Structure 1
Amino acid sequence: MNDPQVPDPPDQQPAARQRLLEPSGVDEGPASDEPPRHRWGFGAFLLVEAVFLLASVFVVIPFRPPGANGALSPIGIVVALVVPTVLAAVVALVITRVRGDGPIRDLRIRFSWPDIRLGLALGVIGLVPTLITARLWAWWVGDDNANSAVGSLLDGVRLPPALAALVFLHIWLIAPICEEIVYRGLLWGAMERLRWSRWSAFVLSTAIFTVGHLEPSRTPLLLVVAVPIGLARLLTGRLPASVIAHQVNNFLPALGVLLMVSGVMPA
């Protein structure tokens, strides 16, 4: 009789099979229900907003040529667009490190494919009401009054290709990351610390996100934009889904700005 075959010990199994047996290390489940342990709250959010406003005022001073009647150089325009937003997000991340457990835990920055798929879906779905509302709003107030703050800043400006590409990437990818860290990361976390419900956090963060852009004439449009982004954060309990939804929403405006500052499309 043949001796029964004895399986190889685990350390001698084929490498491919070993990899299949190893955990992926990716958290596919729902967000943790553990109460937040961070020691920052609404004061941290207000500090970050103050940093953004102060940076918006002072960071452009070196880029105003003498006698230019307040006009900024091309580099100054890009600095005014990029630096305040990025600086605010960096301060928010530092706060989570100093007064909490760091951004990964405090801001719920955990990636999973279901979250990414949901963020993409809500971002695409949100484009429909956004585009419809944008056209209706432009018809109601006129194209000149419907322009965004970024559009007004870049109106009539022609940028070198490198700066134009940087502006495109900032509007499409970087700004959504920074804004989500501040509004649906730091602000949302402040409400979690006070044991507010998820729906309360969704409503307040959506409202503050809308008015926080300081564009009163576009408030209804910004509200329509904010709802699907906030829903991504609400439904997953994590930040990456809202970042993805925000980036999907910003792609078309970013592309329009790129074509405008490159001279391909009239302002």
Structure 2
Amino acid sequence: MWVEHDEGSPADEGSPSIRDGLVLGAHWGLLAFIISLSLYYLLSLLLTGLVFGGLVSTWDPSDLGPLVLLAFLPNLLLGLGPVYASRKWGSGMRGDFGLLPTGRDVRVGLACGGFSLLTAYLLNLLLLQVYGSEYLSDSATNVLQNLMSGIGWLILAAIVVVVVAPLTEELLFRGALWGGLAYYRVPPWVILVLTALVFAQVHGEPSRMLALFGQGIAIGAARMITGRVSASIVAHATNNLPPALLLLSGA
């Protein structure tokens, strides 16, 4: 399974660990997950330091669109690690992740994405009772609308929300991490729960952890049903579409 690369060239015959899908004693998916997530947090801290160090003061306060999009930059690192590791040590993007969606991937993804939205709606209603009206007052969509001026920046932000974030996050969580855990024969339902927990934690919104966990379960179900990351990408994009449309409605 791990011998052939996407380009069809054989893996290094002189390295048994690579032939077995192992790098430094661990499966390459777990290694890609750890390194990508570490770089994500490191870059996030550096950007936060730049902001609090006075970078914001050099921007036109009437249009912080470029600065907001810069905040999405660490998100790219979530997907670059799995892509590199898959091409170097795995079977390539199509072999490891099933990246090109089939008709079944789309159908299952849309269904799971719709279920994710329903799950989020019901859990948000519950959390609204717990936290009160303040719970939804500082949503990411409202923040982006307040910071950005101009339809161009809003459209670009919406593309990031619907296309870029689902792609990079799914390659990391339901791609590299899922594949690495599956290599060690962790039961699929345990992988589903663990990836959903990590998915919720990475978003850094403690008050919404329960809702994000529920969404992670629904999105991960698409991966578990089809065995392909492309299905979970469709589910994730479907889940993110309403917030993106809400974002554009403020233009």
TM-score over 0.5 for the pair = yes
Q: Tell me, what secondary structure is at the counterpart of 2:124? A: helix
Code of the residue aligned with 1:181 in structure 2: it is L
For the pair 1:88 / 2:71, whether they are aligned, the reply is: no
Aligned to 1:6: none
Q: Tell me, what secondary structure is at the counterpart of 1:64? A: helix
Q: Structure 1 regions of 5+ residues with no counterpart?
A: 1-35, 263-267
Code of the residue aligned with 1:250 in structure 2: it is N
Deviation track 1:171-229 (CA, whole Å, cap 9, x = no partner) reads 12221111100100010011022122222211211111121212111101101211211
Aligned to 2:107: 117
Aligned to 1:100: 90
Superposition map of 1:64-75 within 5 A: 64-66=55-57, 73-75=64-66
Aligned to 1:28: none
For the pair 1:38 / 2:21, whether they are aligned, the reply is: yes
Of the three residues 78, 86, 90, the one matched with 2:69 is: 78
1:72–1:95 CA distance, 2 compared to 1 (3 A): farther
Hey, which of these two has a bigger chunk of helix by percent?
A: 2
Q: Size of the alignment, in residue pairs?
A: 224
Aligned to 1:50: 38
In structure 2, how many angstroms separate the alpha carbons of the residues matched to 1:158 and 1:111?
A: 33
Aligned CA-pair RMSD: 2.7
Aligned to 2:155: 165
Aligned to 2:193: 203
Q: Structure 2 regions of 5+ residues with no counterpart?
A: 1-18, 23-27
TM-score (norm 2): 0.79
Code of the residue aligned with 2:77 in structure 1: it is L
1:248–1:67 CA distance, 2 compared to 1 (3 A): closer
Superposition map of 1:149-160 within 5 A: 150-151=140-141, 153-154=143-144, 156-160=146-150
TM-score (norm 1): 0.74
Displacement, 1:102? 2.0
Q: Tell me, what secondary structure is at the counterpart of 2:134? A: coil
Q: Tell me, what secondary structure is at the counterpart of 1:145? A: helix
In structure 1, how many angstroms separate the alpha carbons of the residues matched to 2:46 and 2:78?
A: 14
Of the three residues 184, 199, 214, the one matched with 2:174 is: 184
More displaced 10-residue stretch of structure 1: 70-79 or 209-218: 70-79
Displacement, 1:147? 5.3
